[in-house]
Amino acid sequence: MSESGWGRGPIIDISSGKPVFRMPDLPRPPGGVVRVVVAGLALLLLLLTGYYQVEPDQVGVVQRLGAFVRTTEPGPHFKIPFGFETVTKVPVQRQLKTEFGFRTLRAGTRSEFAPDTPETVGEKVMLTGDLNVAVVEWIVQYRIKDPRQYLFHVRNPEGTFRHMSEAAMRQVVGDHSVDEVITIGRESMEQQAKVELQRLCDLYGIGIEIQQLKLQDVNPPDPVKPAFNEVNQAIQEKERAINDAWADYNKAVPRAKGEAEQAVRSAEGYALERVNNAEGDASRFEALYEEYRKAPAVTRKRIYLETLAQVLPKLQRKVVVDENARGVLPLLSLDKAAKEVKP
């Protein structure tokens, strides 16, 4: 091109020096459009580098040229663009979980676990207080309570937290025998390990709050597992036999006490009845004697008639006549004849 300018000047063949063709003149873009485009690009870059959104379960930690400046709550925010300020979002309201001695591939009704690796085997094989070996798997659930401490007080907080959790668990397991670790001491060990791990987190200022520490699976090593299973089965059978014996005891003893109490109360009632009857008979005899003293003939006759009134109904079919009577008329037994005729 021999001429300068927008869309001007022919194209010259260098070998012959003759023009080949001439480019058409193109219109110049107006200066206002260029300024609008530049301003739009600048505004877009400003928004892309200055706007950020914090989720409801997060806190934004703002750094200016690498130094901590402030924390921002959930919602839309702005920061100094072009990389002068950066934001790290920390999930402070979310419950986080860390697994030790195993790794879960897919959680569900039937969870899938990854095969053992040298890392997981090294985490779960521990020495107990009685110099035995136990295989301990556990999980820790926690949340980040101080995002500034979590990001700036400790280098690699996740790795440091794993080391602290393993140290706390090994200390607690080393203070217990293998029987306590595998059978009866699991609940107290969980509480002790949680307290020790929280103490370490506060000591190092890692900004983590321990919410739960749970022993997932505790077993003896595979070579001695059958022997331990037999011992545990024997202990369970012993406990079951003791519980059955106590159940029988709790049934038999109250029943025997109830029967004894019933016998005592029956005897006391019988004794009271005999005493009352005797006292009643004595009182009746004394009253009768007083009446007899007042009118002996009348009292004797009344006693005689009352006695006959009690005795005669018990004689059933008897006829009483005067011994001096003559020509007694026989009586027809209508009741007996009616019973014989009745079908």
Per-residue pLDDT at 61 exceeds 60: yes
Residue indicated by tokens 């007694």: 328
Dig out the tokens for 316 from the structure: 């059933």
Q: Which residue has the higher pLDDT, 86 or 335?
A: 86
Could you give the count of Cα atoms lying within 13 Å of 231 in the half-sphere of its Cβ?
11
pLDDT of 264 strictly over 70: yes
CA distance 267 to 273: 10
**Selected residue with higher pLDDT from 314 and 88:** 88
- pLDDT averaged over the chain? 84
Determine contact, residues 153/207, Cβ cutoff 8 Å: yes
Output the pLDDT for position 2.
41
The pLDDT score that the predictor gives to residue 14 is 57
Q: What is the pLDDT of residue 340?
A: 54
pLDDT at 343 (0 to 100) = 52
Q: How far apart are CA 199 and CA 213, in angstroms?
A: 14
- Give DSSP secondary structure letters for 101-130: S--EEE-STT-EEPPP-HHHHHHHEEE-TT
- Its pTM stands at 0.59
Give 90's strand partners: 59
Widest distance between CA atoms in the chain: 194
Q: What is the reported pLDDT for 93?
A: 92
Residue pair 118/72 in contact by the 8 Å Cβ criterion = no
